[in-house]
Amino acid sequence: MKKIPIAITLLLLWSCAIWIPGPNDIANSQSQQKSTDREDHPGGSIDGTLPQLRAMIELYSADRRNINRFYDAPMSPVSSQQSSDYLKHWQQVLSDLDFDSLEHEQKIDHLLFQNDLRYRLRALQHQQLKEKQIDEFVPFASTIIELQENRRKVIPVVGKQIATVLTDLEKTVKQTRKSIELRLKEAEQDEVVFEKSVAHRANRMVDRLQRTLSGWYRFYAGYDPLFTWWVEKPYNDLDKTLKDYSKFIRSKVVGVKEDDDPPIIGDPVGREELLSMLEHEMIAYSPEQLIEIARSEFDWCRKEMLRAADDLGFGDDWRAALNHVKELHVDPGQQPHLIKELANEAVEFLEQRDLVTIPDLCKETWRMEMLSAARQKTSPYFLGGETIMVAFPTHEMEHEDKQMSMRGNNRHFARATVHHELIPGHHLQGFMTSRHRTHRRAFGTPFWMEGWALYWEMLLWNKEFAESAENRVGMLFWRTHRCARIIFSLSYHLGKMTAEEAIDFLVENVGHERNNATAEVRRSVSGSYGPLYQAAYMLGGLQLMALHGELVDSGRMSDREFHDRVLKNNSIPIEMVRAALNGMELRRDHQPAWQFYGEVQVPQTAPEGE
């Protein structure tokens, strides 16, 4: 056997980098292994081919979807407990991780993850409190919940027994209705027996329970002959009773008449819940401070609107200037052609100035649809993304409604918002978020999504996108509108402004058509959007403008590099976008502290309107 020279032997040993682990190395390795490869996650082990935190987040998101689909009975204590246990499981997993050993990118994911878990646990408690407030309206809910949960577990049913359960359930619904009717009858004139917001919430819950029961029944009916024979009649009686009960709450308790345009009935969440939501969004200001920020921006908009009005020959009459611009709309049938023209104009402006990367496929594949007359009751303007939804009068609208729709969607208002909906706004966002750091979509926030689109309205103003005084009026209308959204939505949820006062505020201070103002307030407070959603437009935009100032105006990045990197970090709280872009040091106990608008003082008594 041939001997290997000593020098070569030493070289081989060195190149193999022989390492003998110490006690601390072994402990750290075991800790990481426990967190990443453990099989006791509800969804099994994580994907070892992905970066650690990304794999965890993707498993977490997939598991949550499964849990929510399976435990789908409304007001279910089992569902709440399952969700709570699951969230706490992941809190423990994150606690086991050595945060300081993570790379900067994964530290951001860790902070996003733990922030989301904390908020969802708080939101569960808030949801349970709100459900407790409607208990007296739905004392029968537990029976429907149990039926649905047994169905999910495929527990056998006996038709004769179920018929008895449903018969007794119908009696309980009728007794509940009688009890509420009696309380209303015995109440003195003008006495508030039930808060409308609570009654409206109860009305929607009865509808959900009725739909749940309907799905439960369809699972068995016709497939199980004995079930159908026993249960069909009591189920149909119960279904009608539930529907009648829902109509009773809506008409007699909430006060909605079926032949009327429904009144706006919201559900203010209160200051404590707003603070919880702001913590989740990593906003370091109070609701009152955010309202003051909006007032400051509102003042700037008013001064610029007066300048534009003067340039148009209307002196200081900004309403006259606004009315002049509103009349500059296209004829019926021509709005789609205008939208295409404006979309191409925005892309050309961006590319000539090298402001952001726009993939060819993104430019090519956006689509257009028209909003129905019914949809325009809650969405009087454009909606956007890969498909831009265009608001303009339809033939069945009343004459006055047609005129308001055309005035509210005139050429110059549209020019100020088509780029918000398409490129560089929501369409470009959606295109990029589906391709970069996709796991972070679990933490999506309107402060990033709507803030980005609104930020471009601000940036394009600074880059002189407006070519005329009419263009400036169009841009300023929307910017003023975003200020007003902060003021009226937060004031509403703080209990300082009613829905009707919010409508008047938009008409008098922004210049909305009343129908459009009503639709705006309706969608803001009806529960289809979160309480912070409408405030997120301008506040997110201001955050990105402040970050642009730090990184682009300072010369550290070009416009294009800045915008591309913001998009590729996906939809996350902008404080974390800032951390990603400037490389700031992060700690496990990170607390939001960024005062992107500087110090904000709140007057002792803040005015309600302007």
Residues 111-136 have pLDDT tens digits of 999 999 999 999 999 999 999 999 99
pLDDT over 80 (residue 14): no
Residue 39 is predicted with a pLDDT of 58
473 confidence band (pLDDT: 50, 70, 90): very high
Write the pLDDT tens digit of every residue in 206-228: 999 999 999 999 999 999 999 99
Within a domain: residue 14?
A: no
Residue 37: the pLDDT is 53
Whether 153 and 213 map to the same domain: the answer is yes
232-244 mean pLDDT: 98
Question: Does 415 fall in a domain?
Answer: yes
Using DSSP, state whether 90 is helix, strand or coil.
helix
Task: Find the range with the poorest average confidence among 20-29, 109-118, 503-512.
Answer: 20-29
* Run of H or E including 389: strand 387-390
Does the pLDDT at position 22 exceed 60?
Answer: no
Q: Taking the chain, what is the end-to-end CA distance rounded to the nearest angstrom?
A: 97
pLDDT in tens, 511-554: 887 888 888 888 888 777 889 999 999 999 999 999 999 999 99
Overall number of domains in the chain: 2
Coil, helix or strand at residue 322: helix
Residue 185 has pLDDT above 70, yes or no: yes
One domain, residues 177 and 282: no
- 37 vs 549, higher pLDDT: 549
Shared domain check, 277 and 249: no
Taking all residues of the chain, what is their mean pLDDT, rounded to a whole number?
89
Where residue 333 falls among pLDDT bands split at 50, 70, 90?
Answer: confident
CA dihedral 299, 302, 307, 312 (to 10 degrees): 180
Q: Is 160 in the same domain as 187?
A: yes
Structural domain of residue 142, as residue ranges?
135-254
The DSSP code for 368 is: E
User: Is there a domain that residue 279 lies in?
Assistant: yes
Q: Are residues 488 and 425 located together in one domain of the fold?
A: yes
Distance CA 172, CA 138 (A): 9
Q: What are φ and ψ of residue 102, in 5° steps?
A: -75, 150
**pLDDT over threshold 80, residue 21:** no
| 212 and 330, same domain (yes or no) | no
Judge whether 440 lies within some domain: yes
Does residue 26 register a pLDDT over 70?
no
Q: Are 497 and 519 in contact (CB under 8 A)?
A: no
Handedness of CA 455, 110, 430, 61 (dihedral sign): negative
603 lies in some domain: no
Residues in Cβ contact with 587 at an 8 Å cutoff, skipping those fewer than 6 apart: 99
Average pLDDT over every residue of 161-183:
97
Question: In this model, does residue 145 exceed pLDDT 50?
Answer: yes
What pLDDT is stored for residue 193 in this prediction? 87
338's enclosing H/E stretch is: helix 335-352
Whether residues 241 and 282 share a domain: the answer is: no
Which among 225, 254, 283 is the end of a domain?
Answer: 254
Q: Is 156 within a domain?
A: yes
Same domain, 468 and 498: yes
| pLDDT (0 to 100) of residue 605 | 66
Q: What is the pLDDT of residue 187?
A: 84
Same domain, 168 and 289: no
Q: What was the pLDDT predicted at 332? A: 85
Give the rounded percent of residues in the chain with a pLDDT score beyond 70: 91
> Is the per-residue pLDDT at 10 higher than 60?
no
The answer on 320 and 195 residing in a single domain is no
Tokens describing residue 97:
């991780």
Assess contact for 492 and 609: CB atoms under 8 A: no
How confident is the model at residue 609, as a pLDDT?
A: 46
Based on the fold, state whether residues 508 and 374 are members of the same structural domain: yes
Cα gap 417→330, rounded to integer Å: 16
Q: Is the pTM of this model over 0.95?
A: no
Nearest to 193 by CA among 246, 254, 250: 254
* 187 and 278 part of one domain: no
pLDDT in tens, 355-381: 999 999 999 999 988 878 777 766 666
pLDDT surpasses 60 at 454: yes
pLDDT computed for residue 514 by the predictor: 85
Q: Which of 249-263, 316-330, 347-361, 566-580 has the lowest mean pLDDT?
A: 249-263
Closest by CA to 495, choosing from 277, 271, 295, is 271
Does residue 11 register a pLDDT over 70? no
Q: Is residue 128 part of a domain?
A: no
Asked if residue 15 has pLDDT above 50, the reply is no
Which of these, 409, 421, 415, lies nearest to 330 by C-alpha position? 409
Highest mean pLDDT among 45-54, 248-257, 440-449: 440-449
How large a percentage of the chain has pLDDT more than 90? 72
On the question of pLDDT at 422 being above 90, the answer is: yes
The pLDDT tens digits of the residues spanning 97-108 come to 999 999 999 999
Is the pLDDT reported for residue 446 higher than 50? yes
For the residues 407-432, what does the mean pLDDT come to? 90
- Assigned domain for 473 exists: yes
- Taking only the tens place, the pLDDT of each residue in 552-562 is 999 999 999 99
